[in-house]
Amino acid sequence: MSRILAFAASEARIAMRNRWVAIVTLLMALFSLVLAAAGSAPTGELGIDRLSVTVASLTSLAVYLVPLVALLMSFDAVAGEIERGTLPLALTYPVSRAEVLFGKFLAHLAILALAVAVGYGLAAVAALAVDPEAVAGLPALFRLFWSSLLLGAAFLAAGYAVSAVARRPGAAAGMAIGLWLALIVLWDLGLLAAVVADDGGTFTTQVFPWLLLGNPADAFRLYNLAASDATAAAAGVGGAAAAIPPVQALASVLIWPVLAFGLAIAAFRRVTP
């Protein structure tokens, strides 16, 4: 464990030196405050507290921003070490490749946790300042926080896998952005087109729910909306959130970080310094 923590501390210092901590925290804080101000407009119509509606808006933010930030932090975790020539030196120490990768993972996850905590915390303060009843939405906000970390963990591990496969930072960056576009943007567009073409057939009723659960970002969104009082604030996925049991969405959110990290370790072991 001491070896893992040593690599984590080293990676954290590098991230602070590269201004990643400040950039990620500023991004989350800025977008969270904007959504806290703009996303609470329907509270009067829905009859629920301001923070619960803000959580629904933050869920949509997290689906796009958390995976992107995670991939940007992790895409050069292996490829960058290869290009700088530091990977052979790191592997000369009595430490396994899994321990090296887990040390990087702990550092990046801690940075992501700090950024998410600051962003969501500012949104909560803004909601509580104008609506004392917003305290009822704190459990939903806490659920969004830890599930956002699980989502980020899945994409951090996916970024390590991409980095190990690409072996060059430029190629890894392109693959990371392509992965983000495929899972966050194109996946949902493809499913929507298929549902429209199917017109309520077997695909819509039998296959579509499993494809949603097969994407960690969709599973994250479905879990948080299904467990929230503000499902109506997200009309586009409200029906799907109500139709899929939250326990299935939670299982997907929990399983994906483990699977992705396993793939990252397998890819890293094939890298020759």
Report the chain's mean pLDDT, rounded to a whole number.
84
Residue-range definition of the domain harbouring residue 83: 2-269
Q: Work out the pLDDT band at 161, boundaries 50, 70, 90.
A: very high
pLDDT tens-digit map of 104-146: 999 999 999 999 999 999 988 888 887 777 788 788 889 999 9
Is the pLDDT reported for residue 32 higher than 90?
no
Q: How many domains does the chain have?
A: 1
Amino acid symbol at 209: P
- Confidence band of 233 (pLDDT split at 50, 70, 90): very low
- Banded model confidence at residue 232, pLDDT cuts 50, 70, 90: very low
Distance of CA 153 to the CA centre of its chain: 7
| pLDDT computed for residue 209 by the predictor | 82
What pTM, to 2 d.p., does this model score?
A: 0.89
Distance from C-alpha of 165 to C-alpha of 10, rounded to nearest angstrom = 23
How do residues 61-88 score in pLDDT, each as one tens digit?
899 999 999 999 899 888 888 888 888 8
Model pLDDT, residue 49: 67
Per-residue pLDDT at 235: 46
Cα-trace Rg, the chain? 20
Task: Give me the mean pLDDT over the 16-45 stretch.
Answer: 74
Give the C-alpha separation, 244 to 209, whole Å.
Answer: 7
> Residues 232, 238, 244, 246: what is their CA dihedral angle, to the nearest 10 degrees?
-40
**Mean pLDDT score, 173-196:** 91
Tokens at residue 15, please? 């991230």
> Whose CA is closest to 116, among 229, 41, 1, 31?
31
In this prediction, residue 208 has a pLDDT band, given cuts at 50, 70 and 90, of: confident
pLDDT of 228: 65
